[in-house]
Structure 1
Amino acid sequence: MDAVARVVQPGLQAALGVPVVVENRAGAGGTLGTASVARSAPDGQTFVLVFDSHVTNPALMPNRGFDSARDLAPITLIGTTAMLIVTPAARRWQTLPEVFEAARQEEPEAISCATNGNGTMTHLVLAQIQGITGLRFLHVPYGGGGPLATAAAGNQTDLAMGAAALSGHVASGLVRPLAQTGAARSGKYPDVPTLGDLGVAGIDAVSFTGMLAPAGTPGPILQRVREALLGVVGTPAVQGRLSDGLGFDLVMSEPEVFGRFIETQTATWQRVARENNVRIE
């Protein structure tokens, strides 16, 4: 989120004619920062960029202190990012079916799969894969995408699942992409098969980022900020940094579409967590 915010900040500041300050509030998978915005005055001074934990946290953190539909107003879904399943270049597997076959020959949890944390979307996708295939992988949760990518590039795990943080290591050849978890192939990785292509049906998981404001923020303010953001993202320089640099398939949806996206995704991941008995301690 910090990278996206800093890419759009200069253009937003210029378009709106006021200082735009990027403030990082880490903790609980984005919940602490989002909760602070949900409690902020709806005066057009405070906005929040959210990512995929925004739709997975409700399944695992029932006491977040806010409800997205009630307390936040959607502005736009900026874009989605492919989540990849990769293996270090030093590992022998060339395809995900080869990994599955090896897992069938081994004891349960003999093959490790790293994610960017307990309760994250990657953790839930791993649970889905295990439920569909009947295989058991050793889940190794890392504290975010950066440590996950470092571990994967350093050959410290058999598999790793993540989004933008892995892109650089894919490009350098330190890790080899085996599959992506969305229902359709990403424009950035058109040659990488989806899980559905490989016979693991029913999984549609993409990382994303979008902007929201406190509920009750006047409509003209929301519209002005959205139009400013559309203009900034539409410039070649920013578009290139978001698409080529961070791997986003840009969407820039209408507010209502983003609201429905959040609602549908939240319901999906609540079902996945319930069906696979995923909890975070």
Structure 2
Amino acid sequence: MKITRRTLLAAPAVLAMGPALAQAPKITLVVPFPPGGSTDALARLLQTNLQNKLGRVVIVENKAGAAGALGAAQVAKSPADGTSFLVTFDSHAVIPTILDKPPVDVERELMPVFLVGTAPYVIAANAGRPYKTFADVVAACKQSPGAVKYASVGIGTLGHLAMTVLGKKAGVEIQHVPYRGGGPAMNDVLGGHVDLIAGSAALVAAQLGTGMLRPILQLGRERLPNLPDTQTAIEAGFPDFETLAWWGIFAPAGTPADITSAMAKSVKEILSEPAIAAQLKETQQMTLLLEDAAPFKTFFDKQVAYWGQVVRENNIRA
């Protein structure tokens, strides 16, 4: 059954029609990471609301592996009929360069549908360490090269790449300790096994009330409202430097425009609801952009170009 704009935007009353609902093809939202992360949370929020809105069965499938490339490949190889979408985030832009043989061409086999929003990365220190600014970290690295260690949520993630760029610009070596996810990385920083963490604003903000973590640098262009006393990288002497987490939706290349436009419209309506928008801002520190395919493609192409160059220049491999 081919999905048209009419079927994708079917009235919620269809929910009351058991047989009709059972016959309608389900929509799968593929998350290319394990359950529990920010992308998984976004997909499950959309799942419930899309199902109610469209009168269609919507499921979330976690397909983790290869820096998000396995889930991306699954969607790329799915029928281009509106039954499969990828809900992913910033590391998607690094797949072309971080993997020796990526299983998917993210620029040709997938098409941008909707850009949800962005949030800055934040560098924070164990509160027992003496670092109050990034300049303190640079000074410590110059005094004892390699002695300062930072955690990231994995090789080739934007936290890792941002620290690579900052260290290079400052002329110092900051030792990278990669982890498989934000939970393990944060646990070791809080436990004092690692000095710093480069993570999303949401990951850092969740620990600010504990008194065990001190934010020292944020990588957005403007200070976050909940971090009014923490410098941006630009203020700290790194002109025009920013690193943003972002969340977006992709479809298999060749999916008809009326289908992708209808999905984008539905998602925008859901995320524009005040309670849902407030939830994302509070839990993910997210700035909602809610942009459709054209501006999303421009944004994504810039991310691929910039971070791809960082990966190549520093010979980084997952």
TM class by shorter chain equals over 0.9
Residue 156 of structure 1: aligned partner = 193
Q: Shift of residue 234 of structure 1?
A: 1.0
Distance 2:225 2:70 in 1: 32
The correspondence for 1:174, drawn from 206, 212, 217, is 212
Distance 1:73 1:186 in 2: 31
Residue 143 of structure 1: aligned partner = 180
Residue 82 of structure 2 corresponds to residue 44 of structure 1: yes
Residue 29 of structure 2: aligned partner = none
Identity %: 36
The one-letter amino acid paired with 2:107 is: A
The correspondence for 2:314, drawn from 273, 276, 279, is 276
Residue 116 of structure 2: aligned partner = 78
Residue 266 of structure 2 corresponds to residue 228 of structure 1: yes
Deviation readout 1:240-280 (Å, 9 max, x if unpaired): 22111121111111211111111111010111122223233
Residue 282 of structure 2 corresponds to residue 256 of structure 1: no
Deviation readout 1:123-159 (Å, 9 max, x if unpaired): 1112111211111111111111221122222222111
Query: In the TM superposition, what are the counterparts of 1:72-221 in structure 2 within 5 Å?
Result: 72-106=110-144, 108-163=145-200, 164-186=202-224, 188-221=226-259
Distance 1:157 1:22 in 2: 34
TM-score of the pair, normalised by structure 2: 0.83
Deviation readout 1:180-203 (Å, 9 max, x if unpaired): 123443455444221111112353
The one-letter amino acid paired with 1:87 is: A
Residue 40 of structure 2: aligned partner = 2
The correspondence for 1:53, drawn from 91, 115, 119, is 91
Describe the SS at the equivalent of 2:246. strand
> Which sits farther off after the overlay, 119-128 or 271-280?
271-280
Q: Shift of residue 219 of structure 1?
A: 1.4
Q: Structure 2, unaligned stretches of length 5 or more?
A: 1-38
- Which protein has greater RCO, CA pairs closer than 8 Å, 6+ apart? 1
Residue 242 of structure 1: aligned partner = 280
1:268–1:237: structure 2 CA closer, same or farther, 3 Å change rule?
same
Q: Shift of residue 62 of structure 1?
A: 4.4
Deviation readout 1:90-121 (Å, 9 max, x if unpaired): 22222221221122222x11111111111111
Distance 1:274 1:114 in 2: 21
Distance 1:141 1:158 in 2: 13
Distance 1:50 1:159 in 2: 26
1:220–1:190: structure 2 CA closer, same or farther, 3 Å change rule?
farther
1:188–1:20: structure 2 CA closer, same or farther, 3 Å change rule?
farther
The one-letter amino acid paired with 1:206 is: L
The one-letter amino acid paired with 2:186 is: A
Distance 1:37 1:184 in 2: 35
Aligned residues: 279
Describe the SS at the equivalent of 1:122. helix
Deviation readout 1:33-74 (Å, 9 max, x if unpaired): 011001100111100111111111212114222222321121
> Which sits farther off after the overlay, 55-64 or 178-187?
178-187
Q: Structure 1, unaligned stretches of length 5 or more?
A: none
Distance 1:175 1:104 in 2: 23
